[in-house]
């Protein structure tokens, strides 16, 4: 659509309004009229497949011994179900790490370091850890661009959580939203800032996991 300078002016893509707009698009040539609906159909089928998989995941994860941790992590802003379950599935029991920094290191979120004589400087993150967990966590960290607040969807996720979890999530939101704005005001690139937020968010996740009792099992969490 962009290649043919046809741009949607609505607020969100792939919602009902956007789909109605796509259905009214008139292609200039017969060949494009054949290809364009196939593109739309392919995206729609992919979206439906994701919905089916997410539904099955919601059902099966309830029997997992680490499900209480998955639920608790969703109290954090930017950490919805897919982010939480992906991170716990890839990293396992977060409390097996001795400290938040050990968890950050395993996810490849620790800055690389260069030393020369008495000088030492930090570089970009190592990216040496778990790729899937790091990717979803960085995606979730973008939510801290906006000021701290509790949305309706987040409030629904909070209702079943104990006070200690709610206290941690509010402390995280206030600190990370403020830190995001402060780093951006210093001229830091948004991508660099988001990685820094993801790194600190990992620490709050570790703290939450320490507060969640989980059943002991001999089965492999993977």
Residue 108 is predicted with a pLDDT of 85
**Angle, to 10 degrees, between the axis of helix 81-91 and the axis of helix 30-60?**
60
> In the prediction, which pLDDT does 111 show?
72
pLDDT tens sequence across 42-87: 999 999 999 999 999 989 999 999 999 999 999 999 999 999 999 9
Q: State the pLDDT at residue 122.
A: 55
User: What pLDDT does 6 receive?
Assistant: 85
Q: What is the rounded CA–CA span in Å between residue 106 and residue 93?
A: 13
Q: What is the pLDDT of residue 3?
A: 84
Whole-angstrom CA distances from 132 to 85, 86, 96, 209, 221 are 11, 7, 19, 19, 16
**Alpha-carbon dihedral of residues 169, 81, 195, 155, nearest 10 degrees?**
-30
Residue 221 CB contacts under 8 Å (≥ 6 apart), including other chains:
64, 65, 66, 89, 92, 93
Per-block average pLDDT, block size 10, for the chain (222 residues)? 86 88 89 91 92 91 92 92 92 92 88 56 61 90 88 78 90 94 94 93 94 65 48
The beta strands (E) that lie in the chain are given as 111-116, 119-125
Among the listed residues 84, 96, 189, the one whose alpha carbon sits nearest the alpha carbon of residue 136: 84
pLDDT of residue 222: 46
Q: pTM here?
A: 0.77
């Amino acid at each position: 659509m962009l290649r043919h300078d046809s741009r949607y002016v609505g607020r969100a893509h792939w919602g009902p309004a956007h789909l109605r707009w796509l259905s009214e698009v008139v292609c200039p040539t017969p060949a494009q009229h054949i290809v364009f609906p196939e593109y739309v159909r392919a995206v729609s089928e992919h979206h439906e497949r994701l919905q089916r998989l997410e539904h099955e995941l919601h059902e099966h994860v309830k029997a997992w011994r680490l499900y209480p941790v998955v639920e608790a992590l969703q109290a954090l802003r930017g950490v919805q179900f897919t982010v939480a379950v992906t991170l716990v599935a890839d990293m396992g029991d977060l409390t097996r790490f001795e400290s938040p920094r050990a968890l950050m290191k395993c996810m490849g979120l620790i800055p690389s370091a260069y030393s020369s004589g008495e000088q030492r400087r930090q570089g970009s993150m190592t990216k040496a850890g778990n790729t899937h967990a790091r990717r979803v966590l960085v995606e979730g960290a973008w939510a801290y661009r906006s000021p701290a607040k509790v949305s309706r969807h987040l409030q629904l996720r909070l209702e079943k959580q104990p006070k200690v979890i709610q206290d941690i999530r509010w402390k995280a939101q206030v600190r990370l939203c403020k830190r995001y704005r402060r780093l951006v005001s210093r001229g830091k690139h948004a991508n660099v800032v988001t990685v820094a937020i993801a790194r600190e968010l990992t620490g709050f996740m570790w703290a939450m996991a320490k507060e969640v009792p989980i059943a002991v099992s001999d089965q492999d969490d993977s």
